[in-house]
């Protein structure tokens, strides 16, 4: 049976030699190498659930009066888009399960991407020959953020409408061209034309997913062509990769991980409410709700917008830089700029243009680890600042006080944590050297003792 199948494939495609090689492809098996796989599987769940949702979503801002089964919005004006998502959440059997799983998958996808990015950064896996893989990865992260943002913006509920106008304002704040670009994309000033929701929709279900899928493929092919990197070991060298083969070793494990990811996401989707748009109600430009927040992966941007003191840079009547630019546009540009250019900056700083198949441990490179920890602290503080209104509500800590605290903290704390991290790295390495010398001395001592005993 198996032989028949293999023969069928080989005779039709002639790929048996290739399969023979591919099945024995070696995976170094450190657990942290699986984080990217988690992201990949979450993406698969996103595509599968997303396709299902497209069969019900109506991409229209046409004003309709709701007469469905959900009493609290009975008779209210809303867009067709919002009504269709309301229907998915209320009347379509299993619709809500799929919708919530889709949303949880997005949240977990980006969490996995970030963890994967941390792993790659702090081990120096982005060095030659894998710098291209890194650049593609960073680009995918940016696309994923946009993809997620347009995804929840097109639903047109109260929260998403507020998120959309904030994104619009950030776009508007781009010097010289902001208003032109946003007016062009939205078809006029906010709330834009009737074409806006169809545009968001096609971007969400076609444009960005295809871009991500193509880059994902290139990303994976590049990984396979250059093989996985690995940590240094007794047998692991720059020339030899040690690990378990794709088949049979890795396959059941990866499938297990795939089903674990899918299972966790469906459990979350079924048991834990996420973005209950039926509770938020429809959006109108003239209403808003307190405590509106973006999903977690955009929390750093709302933090940036809230932390920045209010001023527009003006020259006479010309507004050179409107306020939202700093926190909403410049901040992410700096972060992504750092991600794009760091491999080359590091190469210059360290004068290191060699091939690296072996990874560093974070402690092996105090400069990189220090800079990385500083950056992470910086972004994390701004991120936390974004939820200070909720902290005020829950713990009664003054919002204005918190904002001023963070305004100072984001400038000071990253520098401190960066230096502390670098210092810890050096101490760890020094500790290891001491331990190594102690052992060597011990062994030498033992040998000497033995030889003396021999002589005696």
Kindly tell me which residue out of 68, 248, 337, 431 binds other proteins, with binding defined by CB under 8 A: 248
Give, as one character, the DSSP assignment of residue 127.
S
Q: Say which residues have a Cβ less than 8 Å from residue 242's Cβ, sequence separation at least 6.
A: 26, 28, 230, 233, 235, 236
**What is the sign of the dihedral through the CA atoms of 146, 155, 157 and 269?**
negative
242 part of the interface to other proteins, by CB under 8 A: yes
Rounded distance between C-alpha atoms, residue 205 and residue 214, angstroms:
14
State which residue, 435 or 447, has the beta carbon closest to other proteins: 435
Rounded distance between C-alpha atoms, residue 422 and residue 416, angstroms:
10
**What character string, x for contact with other proteins (CB under 8 A) and - otherwise, covers 136-165?**
----------------------xx--x--x
C-alpha distances in Å from residue 190, one per residue of 26, 135, 187, 306: 53, 34, 8, 21
How many CB atoms are closer than 10 A to CB 438?
Answer: 10
Q: What six digits make up the tokens of 90?
A: 């209320």
Q: Which candidate, 279, 285, 414, 264, places its Cα nearest to that of 338?
A: 414
Rounded distance between C-alpha atoms, residue 300 and residue 151, angstroms:
18
Kindly tell me which residue out of 19, 227, 346, 419 binds other proteins, with binding defined by CB under 8 A: 227
Residues in 350-389 that interact with other proteins by CB under 8 A = 355, 357, 361, 387, 389
Residues in 419-438 that interact with other proteins by CB under 8 A = none
Kindly tell me which residue out of 15, 314, 433, 451 binds other proteins, with binding defined by CB under 8 A: 314
Residues in 53-72 that interact with other proteins by CB under 8 A = 70-72
Phi, psi dihedral angles at 140 (to 5 degrees): -65, -35
Work out how close the CB of 256 gets to other proteins at its nearest, in angstroms, rounded to a whole number.
Answer: 4
Work out how close the CB of 324 gets to other proteins at its nearest, in angstroms, rounded to a whole number.
Answer: 6
Kindly tell me which residue out of 120, 169, 212, 371 binds other proteins, with binding defined by CB under 8 A: 169
273 part of the interface to other proteins, by CB under 8 A: yes
317 part of the interface to other proteins, by CB under 8 A: yes
Instruction: Assess whether the previous peptide bond of 124 is cis (omega < 30° from 0).
Output: no
Kindly tell me which residue out of 16, 210, 213, 291 binds other proteins, with binding defined by CB under 8 A: 291
Which range in 291-299, 334-342, 343-351, 448-456 contacts other proteins by CB under 8 A? 291-299
Residues in 292-311 that interact with other proteins by CB under 8 A = 292-296, 299, 302, 305-311
Kindly tell me which residue out of 6, 8, 16, 24 binds other proteins, with binding defined by CB under 8 A: 24
Kindly tell me which residue out of 46, 64, 88, 96 binds other proteins, with binding defined by CB under 8 A: 96
Kindly tell me which residue out of 139, 249, 364, 420 binds other proteins, with binding defined by CB under 8 A: 249
State which residue, 185 or 420, has the beta carbon closest to other proteins: 185
Q: Is 324 in contact with 173 (CB distance < 8 Å)?
A: yes
Torsion of CA 145, 148, 152, 154, to 10 degrees: 90
């Amino acid at each position: 049976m198996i032989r028949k199948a293999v023969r069928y494939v080989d005779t039709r495609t002639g790929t048996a030699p290739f399969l023979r090689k591919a099945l024995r492809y070696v995976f170094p098996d450190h657990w942290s190498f699986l984080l990217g796989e988690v992201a990949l599987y979450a993406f698969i769940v996103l595509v599968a659930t997303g396709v299902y949702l497209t069969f019900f979503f109506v991409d229209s801002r046409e004003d309709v009066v709701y007469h469905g089964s959900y009493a609290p919005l009975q008779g209210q004006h809303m867009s067709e888009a919002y009504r269709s998502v309301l229907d998915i959440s209320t009347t379509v059997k299993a619709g809500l399960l799929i919708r919530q799983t889709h949303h949880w998958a997005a949240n977990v996808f980006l969490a996995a991407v970030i963890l994967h990015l941390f792993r790659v950064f702090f081990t120096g896996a982005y060095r030659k020959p894998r710098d291209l893989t890194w650049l593609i990865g960073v680009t995918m992260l940016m696309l994923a953020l946009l993809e997620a943002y347009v995804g929840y913006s097109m639903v047109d509920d109260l929260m998403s409408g507020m998120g959309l106008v904030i994104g619009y304002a950030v776009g508007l704040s781009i010097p010289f061209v902001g208003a032109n670009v946003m007016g062009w994309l939205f078809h006029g000033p906010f709330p834009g034309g009737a074409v806006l929701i169809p545009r968001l929709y096609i971007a969400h279900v076609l444009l960005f997913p295809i871009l991500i899928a193509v880059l994902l493929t290139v990303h994976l092919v590049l990984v396979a062509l250059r093989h996985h990197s690995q940590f240094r070991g007794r047998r692991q060298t720059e020339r030899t990769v040690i690990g378990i083969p794709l088949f049979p070793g890795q396959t059941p494990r990866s499938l297990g991980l795939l089903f674990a990811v899918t299972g966790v996401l469906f459990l979350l989707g079924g048991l834990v409410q996420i973005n209950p748009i039926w509770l938020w109600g429809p959006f109108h430009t003239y209403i808003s709700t307190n405590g509106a927040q973006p999903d977690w992966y955009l929390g750093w941007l709302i933090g940036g917008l809230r932390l920045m003191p209010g001023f527009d840079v003006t020259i006479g009547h010309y507004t050179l830089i409107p306020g939202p630019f700093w926190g909403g546009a410049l901040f992410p540009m700096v972060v992504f700029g750092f991600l794009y250019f760091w491999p080359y900056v590091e190469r210059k700083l360290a004068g290191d243009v060699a091939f690296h198949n072996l990874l560093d441990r974070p402690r092996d490179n105090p400069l990189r680890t220090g800079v990385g920890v500083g950056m992470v602290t910086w972004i994390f503080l701004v991120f936390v600042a974004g939820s200070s209104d909720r902290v005020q509500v829950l713990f009664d800590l003054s919002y204005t006080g918190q904002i001023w605290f963070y305004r100072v903290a984001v400038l000071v704390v990253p520098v401190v944590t960066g230096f502390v991290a670098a210092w810890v790295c050096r101490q760890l390495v020094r500790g290891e050297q001491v331990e190594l010398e102690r052992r060597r001395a011990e062994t030498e001592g033992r040998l000497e003792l033995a030889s003396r005993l021999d002589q005696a």
